[in-house]
């Protein structure tokens, strides 16, 4: 349900896309540098003063039979997002 809304900027009106969190969390996050799949977005971190999204949170991986430690939940800075596709979010992490 991606829609657009009008933004007023010093007398200039322009259309900007917007997205709901429910749409974002259905997308898988993939690192374009390594091909690693991090899973779907589980949460967002934002600045409460400015409302700016700081990072997306992807869940950690579970332990295997309690022997091997999985990856902890990970925050990916919003600036590292390279593409918001219809099904995936491509990020660039070293």
- Sheet containing strand 43-46, edge to edge, reads 43-46, 53-58, 74-77
Mean pLDDT for the chain overall: 81
Cα separation, 40 vs 79, in Å, equals 18
C-alpha angle 39/41/46, rounded to 5°?
Answer: 145
Using 50 as the pLDDT threshold, list the residues of the chain that sit under it. Answer: 1-9
Query: What pTM was estimated for this model as a whole?
Result: 0.72
Cα separation, 47 vs 56, in Å, equals 12
Q: Quick one: which H or E segment has residue 67?
A: none
CB 62 within 8 A of CB 91: no
- What per-residue confidence (pLDDT) applies to 6? 44
**Two tokens, residue 53:** 């999204």
Ordered structural domains, the chain, with CATH: 25-91 (2.30.30.240)
């Amino acid at each position: 349900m991606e829609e657009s809304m009008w933004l007023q900027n010093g007398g200039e009106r322009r259309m900007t896309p917007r997205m709901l969190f429910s749409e974002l969390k259905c997308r898988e996050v993939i690192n374009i540098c390594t091909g690693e799949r991090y899973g779907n977005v589980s949460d967002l971190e934002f600045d409460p003063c400015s409302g700016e999204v700081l990072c997306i949170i992807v869940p950690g991986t579970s332990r295997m039979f309690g022997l091997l430690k999985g990856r902890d939940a990970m925050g990916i800075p919003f600036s590292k997002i390279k593409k918001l596709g219809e099904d995936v979010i491509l990020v660039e992490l070293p």
